[in-house]
Amino acid sequence: MSFKFEYQAKVELEKVNLVLYKEMQELTNYLNTEQIESLPKDDNCLFFNDFKSQTVFVKLETEQEKNRRLGFAAFSKINSLKAKKINALGVFDASFFEAFMLSSYRFDILKTKPNSLEISLLIDQKWKVKCLEISKICHSVFWTRDLVNLPFNYLNTTNFESAIKKRFEDTSVNIEFWDKNKLQKENFGGLLAVNQASNIEPRLAILEYKPENSTNEKPIVLVGKGVVYDTGGLSLKPTEHSMDFMKCDMAGAAAVLGLIDAAQKLHLDKWIVCICPITDNLIGNQSFAPGNILTMRNQMTVEVMDTDAEGRLILADALDFAKTFNPALVIDLATLTGSAVRALGENVAAIMGNAPSYLFHQLAKIGEETGEKVARLPFWDEYKEQLKSDIADIKNLGGATAGAITAGKFLEYFVAYDWIHIDIAGPAFTHKTYHYQGLGGTGFGVRLLVDLIRNYTGNVKGS
């Protein structure tokens, strides 16, 4: 007698079934009683192979975020099978499919052999409208992720401007870019100082989406920090675990741009303006220096104690400029402080500001629902003490404690309207895959803002 192993090419089935269910009895449509009983009871995401077909069974939960995590688990299982076509069966769940799609994102355009696998999800006709909406939002998130993931040598200020122009050409979004000359005339002292060592001019991007049926009388203005690369300037950052991922320092700008992209595609009935100050923070013989005193757009003087606290300098001018729109509400998003990350961890954004409390509660609730979690920090005026300067109006650096709050307090000097500041330094970028939020740029903020703005009921026309 002889025995040998024979090798066969890996069996790759073209089509995989994905069955979503809520109650065990729904499984009788697919499996016999014996098979159902053999299923482990403690796993919500099961792979079942009966040699004729491969199926992933997913038992849905009631909480949206749990279903998103299941969306990631199911995608990972199906992806490992290299399935190209997925047959979606059973019940529909928006959170699940949203996360399923978000999990498919890979930033591999700079690999010489990018993953070219195209996956199609075959869905029931009656899910079409909802899936189309999910797909639009996810594509905005993907654009935001791409912008964040592109390194400085692919996305400097000039490239960023081109990417924005390209994205919004032939859309209902109006765009305008201010160049250095215009910024000088408009006294953007903070933005110009940060840009001083650069061979590339700064820009101010102004985008407006104003549909005819907008319900708000005054615009909602979104401001995003657009530092395309942050070396720290003369207050140079250490390379490891710091400067090496500072391509992500325009994630605030990328998120508000992703939002306006989604708003336009979804035809949201809100008037929205986005303002993004864009520059790099480089080092050179023209650098602005610690000890310098700047005059900002609002005429306040700022003593620069640390050139690495550059985000607040460029945002301050943009927030001051936001006043000219007579806004109903201003929200800024910025990868602003390591302190926010130390306080809340890598997956939660810090929120603070002077807007009415109900808006903060609403934002926290939407954070829970979308999985883009936010936590409010205190904002007492006592924190301003740390920003006192002997020779200028304020300085750009607080003390050793409460750094996320003192950064927010710095910005508060430049606002005169209802305002929420969102520090996304933690959740904007991950260093290892974090379920459906992925690896690298997460697109954090896009889904949060879509839900907030969609449900915004303040400042109704004529009331």
- Decide whether 219 or 232 has the Cβ nearer to Mn ion: 232
Which residue in the list 68, 312, 409, 447 is annotated as catalytic? 312
Q: Looking at 13-21, 67-75, 305-313, 372-380, which segment touches ligand BES (CB under 6 A)? A: 305-313
Residues 376-405 that bind ligand BES (CB under 6 A): 397, 403
Answer yes or no whether residue 332 interacts with Mn ion by CB under 5 A: no
Answer yes or no whether residue 230 interacts with ligand BES by CB under 6 A: yes
Answer yes or no whether residue 224 interacts with ligand BES by CB under 6 A: no
Quick check: is 237 catalytic? yes
Whole-angstrom Cα distance, residue 106 to residue 102?
10
Cβ neighbours, 10 Å, residue 286: 11
Q: Per-residue x/- marks for ligand BES, 323-342, CB under 6 A?
A: ------------xxxxx-x-
Whole-angstrom Cα distance, residue 254 to residue 424?
12
Strand, helix or coil at 24? helix
Residue 337's identity, in one-letter code, is T
Q: Per-residue x/- marks for Mn ion, 311-330, CB under 5 A?
A: x-------------------
Residues 104-143 that bind Mn ion (CB under 5 A): none
Residues 403-422 that bind ligand BES (CB under 6 A): 403
Q: Per-residue x/- marks for ligand BES, 12-41, CB under 6 A?
A: ------------------------------
Q: Are 341 and 425 contacting, i.e. CB atoms less than 8 angstroms apart? A: yes
Whole-angstrom Cα distance, residue 423 to residue 305?
21
Per-state percent for the chain, helix, strand, coil, to nearest 5: 40, 20, 40
Q: Per-residue x/- marks for Mn ion, 176-215, CB under 5 A?
A: ----------------------------------------
From residue 188, alpha-carbon distances to 112, 201, 253, 296, 346 in Å are 41, 13, 18, 6, 32
Answer yes or no whether residue 261 interacts with Mn ion by CB under 5 A: no
Whole-angstrom Cα distance, residue 305 to residue 23?
61
Whole-angstrom Cα distance, residue 230 to residue 310?
8
Name the closest residue to ligand BES (Cβ).
338
Q: Are 297 and 210 contacting, i.e. CB atoms less than 8 angstroms apart? A: no
- Decide whether 47 or 245 has the Cβ nearer to ligand BES: 245
For residue 388, what are the β-bridge partners? 394
- Decide whether 227 or 272 has the Cβ nearer to ligand BES: 227
Q: Which residues bind ligand BES (CB under 6 A)?
A: 230, 249, 306, 308-311, 335-339, 341, 397, 403, 425
